[in-house]
Amino acid sequence: MKVMIFAATAALIGISLLESAATPSVDFSAPDAKELREASVKRITAQGIGALEKGDLDTGRAKFQEALSIDPDNVVALVNLGSLEDRAGHRDVAEKILGKATQVAPRTVAAWLTLGVVTCEEGKLDAALAALAQAVLLDPSNAKAHSYLGVTIGRKGWLDGAEAELQRAIELDETCRDAHFNLAVIYLQRNPPAVELSRRHYRRALELGAASDSLVEKQLNGANMPPAK
């Protein structure tokens, strides 16, 4: 059985921003407009995030681009626009935007994490490894970074390393659904398969909302596991 890894999904940056409001008509280039410019960028970016959360990609894209027209190096707008373009299937565009985000804000974990997810989805595993390793270096307690790093390592075929990263993700966050699912898959790769360990993590993944997988269940059913409902 091949390693079946969840498609990594880039998440929005969790930030608290001002309520949406009309952007004042001012000269944002004036030196004394700095505070107003920053507040406007936050407000517009918040509107973009709201649109993206509703699945309105066109409005979200327009808002992030508007924010970036005022502040081209705004990392929140860059990362969320990169995430949006990935969701829209424009991965080359997303990678370029996220690459810029890591350049302008090299200590921003979300930029490296999202870049790693996107490049992993593209099959650029070496680039993904580099980005996700940087995310883990910057924030060793980030469960998602460890989980996605485990996904990427697993796709490289390095199952021992993948197992270690996925276990670390679960140690940091027991509710990390993807880590449980992928760990279940990896345990089925062992020779002989570690069925009981796989069963435990697969069922926990289902409890956390993962979709059932017929190939995983086919192997587990050989050990008398009833199909998930």
The residue type of 178 is D
The 3-state DSSP class for residue 221 equals helix
Look at the chain and count its residues: 229
Rounded CA separation 190/159 (Å): 9
Percentage of the chain lying above the pLDDT 90 cut: 78
Q: What confidence tens digit (pLDDT) does each residue in 5-52 have? A: 443 333 333 332 223 333 334 454 555 578 888 899 999 999 999 999
Percentage of the chain lying above the pLDDT 70 cut: 83
Q: What confidence tens digit (pLDDT) does each residue in 169-221 have? A: 999 999 999 999 999 999 998 889 999 999 999 999 999 999 999 999 999 98
Query: Is 1.25.40.10 the CATH classification of the domain at 140-229?
Result: yes
Model pTM?
Answer: 0.82
Rounded CA separation 127/145 (Å): 14
Rounded CA separation 207/24 (Å): 47
More confident residue, 157 or 223: 157
All structural domains of the chain with their residue ranges: 140-229
Half-sphere exposure of 92 (CA within 13 A, CB side): 0
Mean pLDDT throughout 91-101?
Answer: 97
Rounded CA separation 118/131 (Å): 10
E strand or H helix at 182: helix 177-187
